[in-house]
Structure 1
Amino acid sequence: MQSFFIFCSGADAELLDQCSAGERNKYAGIGATVFFTALMAFFAASYALFTVFDSYWIAGAFGLVWGLLIFNLDRYIVSTLKKSDRKINELWQAAPRIVLALIIAVVISKPLELKIFEKEIDQVLLEEKNAMTLNNQEQVASLFAVEESAFAKAIQELKSEITTKEAEVEALYSTYITEAEGTSGTNKLGKGPVYKEKREKHDAAMAELKELKASNADKIAAIELQLADLNTKETVQLAASQPIIENVDGLMARIEALNKLPFITSFFIFLLFLAIETSPIIAKLLSPRGEYDYKYAEREDLVISWVTQQKQQQTVLTQTDKELNNRVYKDIADEDELYTYKKKIARELMQKQADAFYKKQNGILG
């Protein structure tokens, strides 16, 4: 187990084997922090992706990849932070790594916050869904309101026609009854010619009323049928849009709902994960230089010295070879044999150029 955690810390296992048990325990502790941080990242990413894909296999696979990525980043951050005699140098090295740890802490903590405050988030989402449902009902109703109002107005006008006609018939009925009673009109008791005339007007109006009722009843039935069809369309549209509202339960919706909860509780959880994520770096910063650090620095110095020596030797070798070549070519330049040979070759080359020029000019002149 200790060897595994030392591997997680990114330390040189062979070099640590040459150190005391205390050094091995220190780096095993740092490695354990790196491992458990990656494990928490795995669970956090798996939960976050499960809310997106609703699949354990996909969430687990991507969560494993994310956990390994965080493990590799944390291991790299810890292993590249070198101890120094000056704390300011260590802080300068740690600054970008702390920023990276801050980003990782935010990414890791957010999904677990979603899980911790799941009940509160569900309550916020329920309230939002109810509000969205009411708004959707109002919007859909406004789409059909004009047609519904037109149909209702048409029905009311048809009913008003019947009411008006009924009032007219009622007035005619009252007129011929009072005529018969002698309380109005001619003021003569009995059913005389005036009575018959008024009775005929009433009967004609009554017939018109019956005909109007039958006609308007058909018209009202037709309009009510159209109104029922319109209400059916409205109901269908509401039913079609409701599943969309019910599905407002994804990762982004939950994060937005989380942001509506009190900030302080979420902030403390973030601080917890930030402390966990930065704990390996803080541990290395706070710990004094140990036996492992001195041996690691000694090994680096040996490598630097060897590379420097090799570079210096290569420079000297190149310079020496350059000087030898200059001397060799200088001695060759002073030899008469080489001069005579190059003079002969140059003479033959110039003769060939002169012959070629003559042939070319002769061909042009014909």
Structure 2
Amino acid sequence: MAADNHQQETGLYTYDSFGEKRKPSDTRFLWWCAGAHQQLLKEYPSEHSKYSGLGGVILATFVLAALSAGYAMYTVFGDPLIAIAFALVWGLIIFNFDRFLVSTMRKYGVSKRKQLWMAIPRIALALLIGLTIARPLEMKIFEKEIETRVVENIHKKIQLNDSLLKIENAALSQTANSERDRLTQRKRAIEDTLHNLQQAYVAEADGTGGSGQRGIEDLTRLKMNAYQEALRQFRPELGLLASAIGQQDSILNDAMAGLEAKRKAYEKTALANVGFLERNKALSDLSQEESSVFWSSLLISLLIILIETGPILSKLIMPVGPYDIALAREELTNMAASENDMRRDKESSYEKKKVFFEKQKEMSEQLVHKLSSLQEKHINEELEKWERGEWHPKDHRASMDEVMRKIKQQYNLNDKDLL
């Protein structure tokens, strides 16, 4: 409405006059995103599209920041509700920050050099925000390649963990195997001794060994008794050896079972705890090994950083328009009015204090004059009494200094107030 009135008053047309009439809500929201003074901007139709575009760029940074934060939180917590909530919060933070940076930049009355120096810290902050936004989006774009690389990295970690577990289990296994071998050798030696004694009396009985004569019962019985005596002596030891060997086998089996349990537990933990950091490492590994991934990642980062710094750069390169001049005039006018109000308040306070001190000075002069007259009267009376011989020391009145001292003490005054 303001633009139409302005057109009717001036008789001039603008570019917006030949376009489709847009609803005010379509542009006012973008103006608000750009941090513009909407009531003032309405009066300058030629500036509408400029600030609508600037608001669209800031709105795009909100969308990118929300998507980036949402994906990052989803990879960490795996809960879509938490991811959506954090995405909205982070997007609003970035949106308000960009809106603040753009709305505080001024064009009119500021030199290009000063504008550039003022924009440097804003651009640095925008770069930092752009980097934080870019990384999660890169990880989403290369998600399939990252998942493959994550599996390879986890497999390498499992292999390294297996080697460490084997080293940890080697000392126990070596001790158990050495003890088992010693026990086995002792058992085998006893069994060989018993076997030889048994074969000796059997060979003696059938005439295939010993004396070579079959049927010598005494000699056969003697060798059989020797075998049975040895068997009786070695049977307890053989039982103990078998039990000890079984115990060592149990130790080895428990060690192998514990090793396998630790390996499976580590593998399960490694596969279950694949988060943002692991995927970020996978993307870094891919960038180092594949030049195509490196350049693609770099270009995506630069694009997102450019979008994030877009509002600042757009505001920096925008030419000075009538809206900027009007905004500067309004701000400077308000500042001047505020300064004038402050100056008037200061002058009014000064005048009040001046009147107060003048009144105080006048009252002090009257007080001093009355005190002087009173003191002079008392002195004359005492002199007359002294001449008539009627003066007594009890009739002595306080001096002027004593009177002034008492007045100052009573009314909490100093010499400056009296003066």
Normalised by the shorter chain, which TM-score bucket?
0.7 to 0.9
* 1:132 correspondence with 2:132: no
Q: Is the 8 A contact 1:144 1:230 kept in 2?
A: yes
One-letter code of the match for 2:145? E
* 1:105 correspondence with 2:136: no
TM-score, scaled relative to structure 2: 0.71
* 1:331 correspondence with 2:362: yes
Q: How far apart are the structure 2 equivalents of 1:308 and 1:175?
A: 129
Equivalent residue, structure 1, for 2:338: 307
Match of 1:44 among 28, 45, 68: 68
Equivalent residue, structure 1, for 2:55: 31
Which is worse superposed, 110-119 or 99-108?
110-119
* Aligned-residue offset at 1:112: 1.0
Q: Is the 8 A contact 1:137 1:238 kept in 2?
A: yes
Q: How far apart are the structure 2 equivalents of 1:316 and 1:202?
A: 133
Match of 1:86 among 111, 121, 127: 111
Equivalent residue, structure 2, for 1:164: 189
Equivalent residue, structure 1, for 2:96: 72
Task: Note closer, same or farther for the CA distance 1:340–1:200 as it changes in structure 2 (3 Å cut).
Answer: same
Which is worse superposed, 218-227 or 242-251?
218-227
Deviation >4 Å, runs of 4+: 166-186, 188-215, 340-350
2:286 match: secondary structure:
coil
Q: Is the 8 A contact 2:207 2:215 kept in 1?
A: no
Equivalent residue, structure 1, for 2:325: 294
Task: Note closer, same or farther for the CA distance 1:46–1:183 as it changes in structure 2 (3 Å cut).
Answer: closer
Q: Is the 8 A contact 1:162 1:209 kept in 2?
A: no
Q: How far apart are the structure 2 equivalents of 1:284 and 1:26?
A: 10
* Aligned-residue offset at 1:289: 0.4
Q: Give deviations 1:51-106, integer Å, cap 9, x for gaps.
A: 12211111111111111111100111111111145210110111111011011101
Q: How far apart are the structure 1 equivalents of 2:198 and 2:228?
A: 9
Q: Number of residue pairs matched?
A: 350
Equivalent residue, structure 1, for 2:6: none
Structure 1 regions of 5+ residues with no counterpart? 354-366
Q: How far apart are the structure 1 equivalents of 2:153 and 2:78?
A: 22
Q: Is the 8 A contact 2:30 2:55 kept in 1?
A: yes
Equivalent residue, structure 2, for 1:364: none
Q: Give deviations 1:242-287, integer Å, cap 9, x for gaps.
A: 3322233122222233222314433222211110011111111112
Please give the root-mean-square deviation of Cα atoms over the aligned residues, in Å.
Answer: 3.6
* Aligned-residue offset at 1:120: 2.4
Match of 1:265 among 285, 289, 296: 296
Q: How far apart are the structure 1 equivalents of 2:223 and 2:183?
A: 27
Q: Give deviations 1:331-365, integer Å, cap 9, x for gaps.
A: 33333697349989986996xx9xxxxxxxxxxxx
Q: How far apart are the structure 1 equivalents of 2:313 and 2:54?
A: 10
Q: How far apart are the structure 2 equivalents of 1:156 and 1:267?
A: 62
Equivalent residue, structure 2, for 1:284: 315
Q: Is the 8 A contact 2:173 2:255 kept in 1?
A: yes
Percent identity (aligned): 30
Task: Note closer, same or farther for the CA distance 1:341–1:35 as it changes in structure 2 (3 Å cut).
Answer: farther
Equivalent residue, structure 1, for 2:14: none
Q: How far apart are the structure 1 equivalents of 2:304 and 2:355?
A: 67
Task: Note closer, same or farther for the CA distance 1:342–1:136 as it changes in structure 2 (3 Å cut).
Answer: farther
* 1:58 correspondence with 2:89: no
* Aligned-residue offset at 1:6: 1.0
* 1:256 correspondence with 2:263: no
